[in-house]
Structure 1
Amino acid sequence: MTSVPAVLAGPALWPAQAHVPSVLGRQLVIERGQGSYIWTADGKKLFDATAGLWHANIGHSRPELADAAADQMTKLETYHIFGRFTNDQALALAERLAAMSPIPDPKVILNSGGSDAIDVACKLARRHWQREGRTTKTVILSREFAYHGLHAFGTSIGGLDFNREGYGTESLVPETARIPLHDLDATAAIIAEIGAENIAALVTEPVQGTGGVHPPQEGYLTGLAELCRDNDILLILDEVITGFGRTGTMFGAERFGVTPDLLTLAKGVTSGYAPLGGVLVSPRIWQPFYLDGDDTPVFRHGATYAGHATAAAVAMANLDILEREGLVERVKDLESLLDTALRDMASRRVSVDEVRVCGLLAGIALTDEYDAVAVTDALIDRGFVVRPLRGNTLQLSPPFITTDDELRTLVAAIDDTLAGEEQK
């Protein structure tokens, strides 16, 4: 009988976003969490400096959210929102999101997460122009190094090339193109080359996350919005990471002074306690689908769990905590502390090339002589979770409930770890 190589006899669960042989046998099995900390199955306590995947804004294991889910499930776990049907929790959450939206008078499309939201937003942008009779406007632009999830549209518009590779074509959805990270003149040239009459929308994160934590340069987002207006291109803001306080305002759109046509949200709306995402839609786009008439068009969106009642109830409880505990305002204080501490550290560390901070988001770009993956592993051994990103960058995005002392301790641990790497 032929023996099976050990690497092929691992757990049944296929690791996400992983070079599988590199992680098998090294996986950290997370068993519980509390506040800003998580524990592995073998009892190791770790400070969660990434808030999971950017989402655990209110911290882990808050009983208020468990209670909200249990209360809702014992009344109605969910009911779909197709056609004439809806449910009270989806209605209530949509009203609340509309009231806090940076887009005036929006409609709210609910779904199950950020990748869902991106797919819906890109489809709706194309549907908008088809309905307008401008049928050549199909191309979706996105930025170099961008990450917009891994559904078909998210994969296609990703600015991280490795996420688009291996599927037989350059892009799963063919009508996509990339623009540079910060260069408005080059972007204008690309628009002219493709032709504004062929471009449906431009998608951007206010602060680029997975691409290496890149805040926008001064005036960049307002300039990008102006380019979109001048060329009649819809602006889609991907606020899956930045929404609900991560930049020190409820949405990044507010911090940077832009009003998009569509805005995608997820992660922070429930702080990860339930899978939920959505799209805020401007009147320009939603009104024609609401006008009374036999020829009123239909936008074919929706999935089984769109407007999931329990997820919506959890989101409402999460938003209550953000407001009651002043956590969005707290992010502003933590940003100042984090920025000062990281820049002080960087002034001493030859291993640090650049520090980028916006709200409670930070990227520490290391010089080429040092390996962000190795530093990440060393920090886990010290009891801190950070994440290596593109550009040899360490990602920090701790929960909003992080204390000043915890933030200082985190930076000190990074400083000590880098000092050790420099001495090797």
Structure 2
Amino acid sequence: MAQPKYRTHVGMVDILPGEVEKWQAVERIIHEEAKKFNFEEIRTPILEQTELIARGIGQLTDIVSKEMFAFERGDDQYVLRPECTAPVVRAFVGHHLEQRGGTQNLYYIGPMFRAEKPQKGRQRQFHQFGAEILGSDDPIADVECMAFMISVYDRVGISNMSLKINSVGDPESREAYKQALIDYFTPHKDELSEVSQNRLEKNPLRILDSKEEEDQPFIEDAPVIGDFLNEESSQHYAKVKQYLNELGISYEEDPHLVRGLDYYTRTAFELISPDLGAQDALAGGGRYDLLVEEVGGQPTPAVGFAAGIERLLLACKEMDIELSEPKSVDLYIVTIGDKARSWAIQQLPEFRKKGFSATMDYAGRSIKSQMKDADRENARYTIIVGENELNEGKFTFRDMEASEENQLPLDEIYGRLKKKL
């Protein structure tokens, strides 16, 4: 009988040793930068109610209409979260976080899920980090979100990137703009891509996100939302640009940048890298002053961003940025004989309690094979232990990099390790 072959689902990838270290390096940078900006971490469940995501993102978006992994259990309907802003807002409302006082500066790291065709830098299970500032309508909050986002990429070492900004105005401005787009694109409907034809009536702003070649000439000449902004939205946008200039954050205004989700108002922004090709977005976000009320809370202004970790790592690969140090272990105990192995098993916890990483051979191999394994594990030091060493109370302590060794008692080995590591 043939053995079954199990594989990951399409668009879901195992992250193996050697790659995991790069993810850990990125996550460490995110945590450190978040602390500098006074953001607190929040962790929400992977499963969320379908209605929350549909109301939060918008019934007519591609995510809700065809990209969600949906489940039913009894009368309850759930989805694997396709993004994290709506879940964070749900947590904000459900736990009354506004009662803590001041703005709530929150950040997250975790997996998201969308049932779309896998593409470069985007799988069906993908990972994002992001931040939300809830409780402020001041343009300073918009700029702080952008500054936090950019700080992560600066720390990683990605330099080939640019920030695009725009304003999508308030709901009234947005509706007027939607109608202008419908009026503009309708005479050219048959010349648009099939995707854009479907979006024309349902969500015309998404046409502006199209990468299809046949859509580009029409997008170029499309109306711009700046012509539809009211005075308040215009002033807010002007302040955002003023603060970016004062902070020395360079940006490019993109009148066709609208973001695809229904909850955005006013500021929209995107960080892109030409190293990623056609799918060049590293991160993006904007203001969503209507979302908290939409999911059952009191009217609360908010702004945030989300960034793809796979895209970030892809940019690192294109720019030859090495994120993690090679794997290494402080100490490898090489044993000769059963007594030495028993001694090593007892000593490993003692080395670890003192703060050193330590390991030994688990397979009963020869001393030659153990030394090769120590090299493969990139051990900084080895202790070679046999019956003679145990009887004399002195052990061969070897500096693997310098290829130097000495016969030392155990307490002196501890002292040398403490001094050198």
TM band (smaller chain): under 0.3
Larger Rg, first or second structure (1 or 2): 2
More strand by share: 2
Between the two structures, name the one with larger relative contact order (CA 8 Å, sep ≥ 6): 1
TM-score of the two chains, using structure 1 as the length reference: 0.24
TM-score of the two chains, using structure 2 as the length reference: 0.24
